[in-house]
Amino acid sequence: MAAPRQLLLRLWGLGTLGLVLAIATGAYWWEKQLPERLQSALNANDYKACIRTSEQLAALRWLGEGAPEEQALCRQKHAEHLWGQGDPIAALSLQQQLVASGHGDLDLHRKTLERWRQALMDQAIALFHQGELQKALKLLEPLKGNARSSISQLSATLLEIWNRNQLEQRRLVQLVEQERWWEALDSLNKLDHPWWQQQARVTRSRVENAIEALDEAQEHQQHPAIHANVIKGDALNNAVQDQLRQGLDPWTAFSTGCRHLGGRVEEDGPESFCRRSSPSP
């Protein structure tokens, strides 16, 4: 009885060893195929298959060290593909995860992340100048992570500039309706955003034409001898603008600018003009 039992044990041991060797051989063979499959997935831009293959590679490695470098490569290529396809927000998110993982070429990953962040900021500012405030703020939103207070400050600054120009535009409309041309010109000069300046281009032309018409009316009034020494034109305009920039109200700015040019303000019915104090010969 002992002999058959020993024979069965030997057969069982050999069978088990053969099965283990077969499994090990198959796993080894499959592991050798995975790098080629991983590269094929990368070439086909199939990044899900790339990640799946890298995970299989990690599971099959004998020493159990995993495959972080291969996984990092998959994520790196995926992020680059997303960026090239015009999806910067998704690309940036993936690149941030890649840097946080600590795998792959960290120096390269960090430089790529900073380059993409700067490109996104530049794009947001360009959109802002084109009048696309909400698109600009949305583009900056994913950059606010990791306690980047400078991005939050940039968003707040863009919003403040936009709101200030919007309020000034509303004030400008009211001044034009009331034909308060000097104040309207001052309001126009306070618009410091390219898009709002463009929106007010027609209004600026109207205001400047109205001020010029006032000068011409003074030149052709019924009593030219009385106003032969009227100060007008660019000299008066520039003098008034200097006073407005110092914070004076429009009427005080007009009076002060006239006085600085050696004149005094005189009224003739509804019109006011600046007459030289010492008539020129």
Per-residue model confidence as pLDDT tens for the chain (281 residues): 545 655 555 555 544 554 444 444 444 444 444 455 555 655 555 556 565 655 555 554 443 444 456 667 777 877 888 888 888 888 888 888 778 877 777 788 889 888 998 998 999 999 999 999 999 999 888 887 654 678 888 999 999 999 999 999 999 999 999 888 888 888 999 999 999 999 999 999 999 888 888 766 555 554 444 456 788 878 888 888 888 888 888 878 888 989 888 888 887 655 677 888 765 44
Q: Which amino acid is at 64?
A: G
73, burial (CB in 10 Å: exposed 0-12, middle 13-18, buried 19+):
buried
pLDDT of residue 127: 96
Per-residue confidence (pLDDT) for residue 281, from 0 to 100:
43
Sort 71 into a burial class: Cβ within 10 Å, 0-12 / 13-18 / 19+: buried
Q: What is the pLDDT of residue 280?
A: 47
Nearest CA to 156 out of 177, 178, 176, 133 is that of 133
DSSP 132-148: -HHHHHHHHGGGGTTT-
Residue 271, classed as helix, strand or coil, is strand
Q: State how far the Cα of 136 lies from the Cα of 3, in Å rounded to an integer.
A: 86
| Residue 202, pLDDT score | 94
Strand order in the sheet with 230-231: 230-231, 271-276, 263-268
The Cα 74–Cα 77 span in angstroms is 5
What size, in residues, is the chain? 281
Distance CA 247, CA 174 (A): 20
pTM metric for this prediction: 0.59
8 Å CB contact between 74 and 50? yes
